[in-house]
Amino acid sequence: MSRKRIIAGNWKMNKTPSEAKALCETLIPLVGNDDVEVVFCVPAIDIVPVVEAVKGTNIGVGAENLYIEDSGAYTGEISADMILDAGAKYVIIGHSERREYFKEDDEFLNKKVKKAIEKGLVPILCCGESLEQREKGVTIDWIRLQIKSDLDGVSAADAKKVVIAYEPIWAIGTGKTATSDQAEEVCAAIRACLAEIYDQETADAIRIQYGGSMNASNAAELLSKPNIDGGLIGGASLKADFGQIVNA
């Protein structure tokens, strides 16, 4: 089963619209690779200028969040239709920063996944364990619970549209990467869980990324693992390293 690799940058709350355009100019020449789906997930205010800047390239654009309703009195939120109309096609859902700082739980994230799919956005669904959970030996149980809850009620056909990002919380922004064996173990467990929920064919079609301090020096090793189909990159997506990761 061949799965197209997907390397996505998560810019987080970095880059003003003019800085975003400048970053696109730096990165565009570095990420041209037709074998890889390249995505820039950017702050809502940067979506329009980034879509404009990457026109005619192989780069897709994503949002970092969406709300579960279509429109209305939800001050500060953005809808799937707004994201799509701005020209983005992907959306990050369930990043650990949103789970922690904005108290987003799996029931809410499940609604976001369903909304994204209903509207035709590709959800990049994040899951991951804390250091405490890893040390207690409950990583796989925890990840299985997250996956089962976040995909609850999602059909096999729709699940194939989802990209899952395994991001151990202790590795995000810390410079501490999971070893390729640790990352592969969890990504393989995620695939086994998907096969249980759906079937092997569906599980084999779903792309699973690793995220957590991935950079130009460790990307090739992580991406060489059979169940790691790409990366979700934070810090290193804001510099030339991102090009090296795409081509790793």
Task: State yes or no: is 167 an active-site residue.
Answer: yes
Which residue is catalytic, options 95, 104, 129, 184?
A: 95
Q: What element of type H or E holds 37?
A: strand 36-42
Q: Count residues contacting ligand PEP (CB under 6 A)? A: 13
**Residues in 181-240 that interact with ligand PEP by CB under 6 A:** 211-214, 232-236
- DSSP code, position 48: H
Nearest distance, CB of residue 153 and ligand PEP, angstroms: 26
- The nearer residue to ligand PEP, 95 or 198, going by C-beta atoms, is 95
Residue 9 engages ligand PEP in binding (rule: CB under 6 A): no
In the shown chain, the binding pattern of residues 78 to 97 toward ligand PEP, with x for contact by CB under 6 A and - for none, equals --------------------
Residue 133, CA distances (Å) to 13, 94, 130, 143, 175 in order: 27, 18, 5, 10, 19
**Residues in 128-167 that interact with ligand PEP by CB under 6 A:** 167
Residue nearest to ligand PEP according to CB distances in the complex: 234
Show the DSSP H helices in the chain as ranges. Answer: 17-27, 47-54, 80-85, 96-101, 106-119, 131-136, 139-150, 156-159, 180-197, 200-205, 219-223, 241-246
Convert 137-174 into a string of H (helix), E (strand) and C (coil): CCHHHHHHHHHHHHCCCCCHHHHCCCEEEECCHHHCCC
Task: State yes or no: is 95 an active-site residue.
Answer: yes
- The nearer residue to ligand PEP, 43 or 198, going by C-beta atoms, is 43
Residues near ligand PEP, by CB under 6 A? 10, 167, 172-173, 211-214, 232-236
Catalytic residues: 95, 167
